[in-house]
Chains A and B, each alone.
Chain A
């Protein structure tokens, strides 16, 4: 009986070690935002999600507008995280803090963009959606600012515009018709409570194993 018990304990511990090794070996990016993922970004101060739609600004650049919306179930609030122009990021790899990315609007294929135009309501810097099928220009690039090594899903981060050094922000001004209730999203120079964003709903891609290789010996 003793021997059987001993053997059982041995088998169990071997199994445990094997399974533990499997876990360590497997790349798990479950808690990070990764390259290629689709996310909704929530401004934590004003509780609105980054949003765009086929509505152009009536002033400034006249490009496609970017706003903040309250409801959580609009597919126009999905954005895809992609690498810089001509530098695709590897699918499924967690985005590093400080990394330069493009944030592409899923529905319209336009990139989150900023430039030296005034925003319509608050006279901060206008943030628009620009480009076609994911290709725009160098003003589409934003740097993710966070404290750790990588962008964690349940952590608030800031987005700093690489071309003009402003932070993606919301300060609460609301539009009227035809986008009543939506908030203005703009770029502002200072880092404050208004420029924290958190990833919410989305489709988060995990890193894949390399496909099978058949190297000849």
Chain B
């Protein structure tokens, strides 16, 4: 009897657990595709990737796009906030205080700028007549390691935002000619400053965090725009903030397109008898090189797939091209060694004279 009671108890517990799991609301970790111990940075990365994929403007054929996107926003809003995440981890979605609607636009714009959801860059068409603030261009230096593996850069944008203020202000000021009558038949033309009246605004400095992604394979001079994050315009729209990528030179690898070039110096012995070595690549993995034949100075070795990922398709990689040069022994040889070498190598005297600079 006791055993049966225990079994029933277990089944009930299991049922209760399953029901509560189902009713507990959405699994935010699953929506973002991160583990429960993910750092805030991992969560941001996951959000950014998915936000670009799931945005309704990009998925106009999918009737569930709005819901999926809303789920994504809710997941990010909770998991990126320490307080809310703690509550969610302890009590599930139901345990969170109040609804968390809206402000998904706020989250989205920290990754793409204030008007970043206008995919396709229709900005030019819309504001031909609206005055626009200046653009800001920031040269972002990136290392070749970052070009190979990708990375995220967080920035804090502190900018003036126009906020309503009490009263009115003068706007659209211009010079106009006024004619005043001084007496019968006598007039005077004067220049006068004439202004319109507009609602008063004041510029208040506000801050927000933006996240720029250094995508794999990114090329020099490529730009990442954040729409609306530039300079404000008191009578119009703010300009854009653009991050311009500047790839730094690397001590080991030289980039040409998607290919990487490097040089290796080997000893004369290695050049003649062969050698094995490893080159440490940009992300730490090792490229094995083996030669058992003679390696001439200036010889090149192509390693396919060991270059940089292509920006448009990161599954395609360029090649690593290794050029060998030979270091001759520093010490001079004595007569005995010279005889030894003559008999070992059995190479006759060559002594060919030619114009090497013109390809003869």
Quick one: CB contact mask for B94-114 with A, threshold 8 Å, 1 for yes?
Answer: 000000000000000000000
Q: How far is the CA of A209 from the CA of B45 in the complex (A)?
A: 12
In the complex, whether A144 has a CB less than 8 A from a CB of chain B is no
Tell me, yes or no, whether B241 is within 8 Å of chain A by CB. Answer: yes
Q: Which residues of B contact A88 (CB under 8 A)?
A: 141, 248
Find chain B residues with CB under 8 A from A157 CB: none
Is B146 part of the contact surface with A, judged by Cβ < 8 Å? yes
Docked pose: A209 CA to B156 CA in angstroms: 16
Chain B proximity mask over A205-216: 1 for CB below 8 Å, otherwise 0:
110111111111
Q: Is the CB of A200 within 8 A of B82?
A: no
CA distance A213 to B154 in the complex (A): 20
Q: Which residues of the partner chain B approach A91 to less than 8 Å between Cβ atoms?
A: 140-142, 153
Chain B residues with CB under 8 Å of A37's CB are 155
Give the shortest distance, in Å, between A81 (CB) and chain B (any CB): 11
Which residues of chain B are within 8 angstroms of A19 by Cβ–Cβ distance?
A: 82, 85-86
Contact A204 B155 (CB under 8 A): yes
Within 8 Å of chain B (Cβ to Cβ): is A36? yes
The verdict on A151 contacting chain B, using a C-beta distance below 8 Å, is no
Q: In the complex, which range does the number of interface residues on chain A fall in? A: 35 or more
In the assembled complex, the CB of A185 is this many whole angstroms from the nearest CB of chain B, namely 21
Classify the secondary structure of B's interface with A: mixed
A78 at the interface (CB under 8 A from B): yes
Residues of chain A lying within 8 A (CB to CB) of residue B339 = none
Contact B136 A215 (CB under 8 A): no
- Known interface pairs A26-B39, A73-B133, A209-B151; A16-B283 also in contact (CB < 8 Å): no
Interface stretch of the complex, out of B157-165, B168-176, B321-329, B343-351: B157-165
Instruction: Determine the chain B residues whose CB is within 8 A of the CB of A213 once the complex forms.
Output: 149, 283-284
Partner of B149, one of A74, A78, A206, A212: A212
Q: Is A106 engaged at the interface, CB distance under 8 Å to the other chain?
A: yes
Determine the chain B residues whose CB is within 8 A of the CB of A200 once the complex forms.
158, 205
* Closest partner residue, chain A, to B231 (CB atom): A75
Tell me whether B234 and A38 are in contact (CB under 8 A): no
B41 contacts A by Cβ under 8 Å: yes
B136 to A, closest residue via Cβ = A75
CB proximity of B17 to chain A, nearest CB, Å: 14
Q: A114 interface residue, CB < 8 Å from B? A: no
In the complex with contacts A200-B158, A206-B156, A212-B90 CB distance below 8 A: no
Q: Is the CB of A215 within 8 A of B158?
A: no
Chain B residues with CB below 8 A from A179, complex form: none
Q: Are B41 and A36 in contact (CB under 8 A)?
A: no
What's the Cα separation between A93 and B139 when bound, in Å? Answer: 16
Query: Which of B37, B90, B156 interacts with A11 by CB under 8 Å?
Result: B90
Q: Are A212 and B141 in contact (CB under 8 A)?
A: no
Least CB distance, B236 to chain A, in whole angstroms: 11
* B155, A201: Cβ atoms closer than 8 Å: no
Contact between A214 and B285, CB atoms less than 8 A apart: yes
CB distance from B277 to the nearest CB of A (A): 15
Interface string of A99-125 (1 = CB under 8 A from B): 000000010000000000000000000
Chain A residues with a Cβ under 8 A of chain B: 8, 11-12, 15-16, 18-19, 22, 26, 30, 36-38, 72-76, 78, 80, 88, 91-92, 106, 134, 200-206, 208-216
- Sorted from nearest, which 10 A-B pairs have the closest CB atoms? A75-B134, A211-B149, A215-B284, A206-B154, A213-B284, A204-B156, A211-B151, A75-B231, A212-B149, A214-B285
Given contacts A26-B39, A215-B285, A216-B284, list 16 more A-B pairs with CB under 8 A: A11-B90, A22-B39, A36-B138, A75-B230, A91-B142, A201-B205, A203-B138, A203-B155, A204-B158, A206-B153, A208-B152, A208-B154, A209-B152, A212-B283, A213-B283, A215-B284
